[in-house]
Chain A
Amino acid sequence: EAQVTQNPRYLITVTGKKLTVTCSQNMNHEYMSWYRQDPGLGLRQIYYSMNVEVTDKGDVPEGYKVSRKEKRNFPLILESPSPNQTSLYFCASRQVEGPEAFFGQGTRLTVV
């Protein structure tokens, strides 16, 4: 089954404690991205990757890092989380020229 797997689904952490949200896809897609979703603001892109070792900033990259060492995996790293990073996060993958068609289940992150 074609899918994007994100973990964890829920995470509560404290300010400054490094965390990683994992994302894996099984469709051999080149394009992967991370979004955050906040009420009234919709989905905003954090980072994206066009292929292995090729990553670039989206619209709201501050405070986040990503890596793309393998085609299937695209982890999101928060080196020093802050309360303003409390949000619902989605990983997505797709063909380069297609729509965002496959989303992970989402990670609800709370930073206290």
Chain B
Amino acid sequence: QKEVEQNSGPLSVPEGAIASLNCTYSDRVSQSFFWYRQYSGKSPELIMSIYSNGDKEDGRFTAQLNKASQYVSLLIRDSQPSDSATYLCAVLPVTRGFKTIFGAGTRLFVKA
């Protein structure tokens, strides 16, 4: 089992819709969770951090964390073509020291 799993996609949504990106992780005691956006050929950009169960909103982005289910998600409201990118889920497991574990990413296409 991979430590951080994401559906590779591509996920295609129409402009203005809600894009829902999902991630599961294996280390039950993980405390810190992150979402990155990566445009093709560019470096990852940190867009959301979440540390406790529930929802965290920042503009059009909402991160959701459910530690009991070992599940973290990212919702993008009012999706725009400029949101088309690969979204990486990352976890900072307590058992791995300070090492960040990245998922392989989900490709998102927003159709105009």
How many of chain A's residues touch chain B, expressed as a range?
20 to 34
A100 near B41 (CB under 8 angstroms)? no
B8 near A106 (CB under 8 angstroms)? no
A90 near B49 (CB under 8 angstroms)? no
A42-B104, A97-B98, A99-B49 given as contacts; is B43 within 8 A of A104 (CB)? yes
A41 near B104 (CB under 8 angstroms)? yes
- Number of residues of chain B lying within 8 A (CB) of chain A: 21
Q: How far is the CB of A35 from chain B (nearest CB, A)?
A: 8
Q: Which B residues are within 8 Å of any A CB, using their own CB? A: 4, 8, 32, 34, 41-46, 49, 88, 90, 92, 98-100, 102-105
Q: Which residues of A contact B99 (CB under 8 A)?
A: 45, 48, 58
Q: In the bound complex, how far is the Cα of B105 from the Cα of A88, in angstroms?
A: 15
Instruction: Pick the 9 closest A-B CB pairs, nearest first.
Output: A42-B104, A103-B43, A43-B102, A99-B34, A42-B102, A101-B46, A100-B100, A106-B43, A103-B44
A52 within 8 A of B: no
